[in-house]
């Protein structure tokens, strides 16, 4: 398994009035892909062998809402991708 997580979009949704981050999850085999599809609580979209996962945040918890995050955006994106990778691996290990 070559699980890869990449942030492909983030910001504020005017229609939902919430902040969001969209993750692209790739590199999963059939069994792992099926497990995640069943276990992920957030809204997901499956496109072939990849998952697009939307996570929504209240303003105070939005990871890109501070001045520091804008000054060091690459660091914050990398951290969020690592945290989501760890979360997904934990879901795959739960049996």
d(CA 88, CA 85) in angstroms, rounded, equals 5
Q: What angle do CA 11, 15, 16 make, to 5 degrees?
A: 70
**Cα distances (angstroms) measured from residue 27 to each of 5, 31, 79:** 9, 12, 19
Q: Hey, which residues does 12 pair with through a beta bridge?
A: 19
Secondary structure (DSSP) of 53-77: EEEEE-GGG-TT-SHHHHHTHHHHH
- Looking at residue 29, what is its pLDDT? 86
CATH number for the domain that contains residue 65: 3.30.780.30
Q: Which domain holds residue 21?
A: 4-93
Written as tens digits, the pLDDT of the chain (95 aa) is 699 999 999 999 999 999 999 999 999 988 899 999 999 987 899 998 899 999 999 999 999 999 999 899 999 999 999 999 999 999 999 76
């Amino acid at each position: 398994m070559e699980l890869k997580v990449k942030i492909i979009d983030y910001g504020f949704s005017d229609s939902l009035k919430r902040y969001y981050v969209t993750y692209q999850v790739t590199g999963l085999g059939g069994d792992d892909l099926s497990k995640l599809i069943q276990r992920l609580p957030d809204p997901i979209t499956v496109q072939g062998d990849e998952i697009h996962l939307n996570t929504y945040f209240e303003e105070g918890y939005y990871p890109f809402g501070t001045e520091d995050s804008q000054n060091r955006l690459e660091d914050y994106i990398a951290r969020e991708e690592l945290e989501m990778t760890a979360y997904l691996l934990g879901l795959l290990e739960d049996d």
